Structure 1
């Protein structure tokens, strides 16, 4: 039977193909495969062609470098749209073109609907048409993948918002003498939830309890552990526990729930007395809180009061008692706020840099502070960030 893959070459040079193109040709007929190779020699530059006689052989030879697949629909081990579907499954990121001797518009439409970028009939193809079809198919596939990536990113962002609304705490405060603000920002892009956590609860006696913590590491396991520790802390506070008794119980929870023995957690606990003039703090290997009184910003003295949770068994943490006065602001935060870089270089902001930012703004404005830190970092923060700001304004 006469081979009619090519009727005549079109005048002029074939269209250009992408540089370093690797193409997989799935064709059981050696003569047709030879003619395809001859046609593609007209392209500039000529692609690297991998020839497979069967679908099984093709699947074994598909690699990340294959950007386009030419597949016949009459193969020894697969035929029709089933062959196409198996190719699409094996090469999900490559452009797939059906090159067959069957001149059937219905089959062509079904192939494109199934996921092929194009449908070419062998006897109607010349060098220029084949080269152009390959180039356009690759560009269409690239656009499809980019669009899919955008859709996935949008869906992930919506899921992120939903999870954060569901898992981040709602402060329990009955007094109107305190202003409570909190900020939470996962550092890595497309992260659903970070290992940082915070919470605020006012007990029945009027005392206000705050926790800000940081589980070392990044990922879903650390995020789940952070949520577990926060819920355990709230339960213990509502049950009347405080101080070293509460910290040792959290340490037990951490050791039971962590996936690896080297996982530890830093945290800061603050208990503001019912009169809102005094506070007791426990700082377990965590960045020291900042205290604003009378227009002066300072690091709470005596911190830290002990090592992080999960390192030493039967640990004791020293209580730090602070006289707050009538009007004050106290900022508890994780190290994501002070480990941002300055100007994108190797130097970190640090606690002193954070204090300078607060002085520049004449007070603690969380939105402006976080915005300034990100601006200095010249990029999204690499570490997670959680911050809680409690403020008591002077009466009158």
Structure 2
């Protein structure tokens, strides 16, 4: 249920009120006051603060909408009991005090009580009104807090997404970069898919796409760290064979659980745009996109372990000659793991067949590669009865 809907649910039901009062006569008076009003109340009683805390902690019945708290309990003094009950998330707290303690009641509002009532000055209507207002104020506070928390989470997710999905750093006018990202349809937490494309000072083109296992802000933050580390390493001119081992060491150092790992595909295209070097760390292979049957997925014969698995290794490069006007599609496994009606997953063979079908259309897809990429995403979405992972895809198109 949406947090805003949850706090306002069952508004027409009787209000659940917990009276914390050790004096039987005062408790009877409160009961009679409620009986004199048209307010529907489900009233329960605790004789001490300890009994109230035990009831709230065990969850017997439902959490009350309001607690009426006597400030003069044998096991609580001054505001001690109030502070302890305010730690319970949910009920509004109204304090009960004697006339001689009226200032104490007013001070209790400053501590956090919704309001205070003087025992020998309250009647049924004023009690009902105070309870109604306290509950509504508490519900309003919870709505505001839920909205604020949702906005904070949205802002944090937006910051993480900007880190995971950056703007390419590219000056070559003959290379086009198109990227797409879609969150998983069955999860609401931010995932750890990331990508980046940069051009080195010598004109070498570097591209990476990765997927931190799991979903949530920790995984997303780790993905941001890995992407920034990758960009820093490749732009620094470090030996390409040291990039993935260094990222492996960073992941092992930064992860919050020893089983956390990252799959990754890193592609390097030389300045002439005729030769590709590919390194795979447990990641599905990119596709070299042509026309129809000319489209094929690259080999996985040099597939290495994911980052974070094992003690680190050299990820052997796969060297390939590129055809004129090539296009390279990198993607995360969310694109190929959607469950189809048959129960099978699309996987790499299915993606290759889908790409061949789309690129064999009557119109040259290179005239609008963005539409082609959108068609791929749309068809994968249509074929998948359930997809629990995010999808990131990056298409590099060379016009040379």
**TM-score w.r.t. structure 1 length?**
0.74
- Relative distance call for 1:30 and 1:383 in structure 2 (3 A) is same
- The whole-number CA distance in structure 2 between the counterparts of 1:106 and 1:346 is 69
Question: Quick one: structure 1 residues 46 and 228, their matched pair in 2 at CA, closer, same or farther if it must change by over 3 Å?
Answer: closer
CA RMSD of aligned residues (A): 4.1
| 2:389 paired residue number | 383
Aligned CA distance change for structure 1 residues 238 and 370 (closer, same or farther; 3 Å)? same
1:7 aligned residue: none
Q: CA offsets per residue over residues 124-180 of structure 1, 9 Å max, x none?
A: 433x77567646644553343133212221122123323443565443222111111
Q: Which residue of 2 aligns with 1:319?
A: 317
Q: 1:240 aligns with which of 213, 237, 242?
A: 237
Q: Determine the C-alpha separation between the residues in 2 that align with 1:183 and 1:279.
A: 22
Alignment partner, residue 230 of structure 1: 227
Q: Which residue in 1 is equivalent to 2:188?
A: 189
- Give the aligned partner of residue 5 of structure 2: none
TM-score (norm 2): 0.73
Q: Which moved more, 1:250-259 or 1:145-154?
A: 250-259
Equivalent pair of 2:20/2:69 in contact (CA under 8 Å): yes
TM-aligned CA distance change 1:112 to 1:373, over 3 Å: farther
* Structure 2: gaps (5+ residues): 1-10
Moved over 6 A (4+): 41-46, 103-114
Residue equivalent to 2:328 = 330
User: Secondary structure at 1:78's aligned position in 2?
Assistant: coil
Alignment of 1:46-57 (within 5 A): 47=42, 49-53=44-48, 55=49
Deviations 1:15-65 (Å, cap 9, x if unpaired)? Answer: x9736x753212232211133345667999863613133x46544543354
SS at structure 2 position matched to 1:195: strand
Distance 1:169 1:138 in 2: 46
Matching of residues 113-132 of structure 1 within 5 Å: 115-117=112-114, 119-122=116-119, 123-126=121-124, 130=127
Question: What secondary structure sits across from 2:144 in the alignment?
Answer: helix
State the match for 1:30 in structure 2: 24
Aligned twin of 1:13 = none
Structure 1 unpaired stretches of 5+: 1-15
Distance in 1, Cα, partners of 2:270 & 2:56: 67
Give the superposition deviation at 1:201. Answer: 2.1
2:192–2:213 Cα contact (<8 Å) kept:
yes
Is residue 2:205 matched to residue 1:208?
A: yes
Per-residue Cα deviation, 1:267-303 (whole angstroms, up to 9, x for no partner): 1111112222332212221122122213557342312
- Residues 243-286 of structure 1 show CA distances to partners (whole Å, capped at 9, x for unaligned) of 54433343343344444443322111111122223322122211
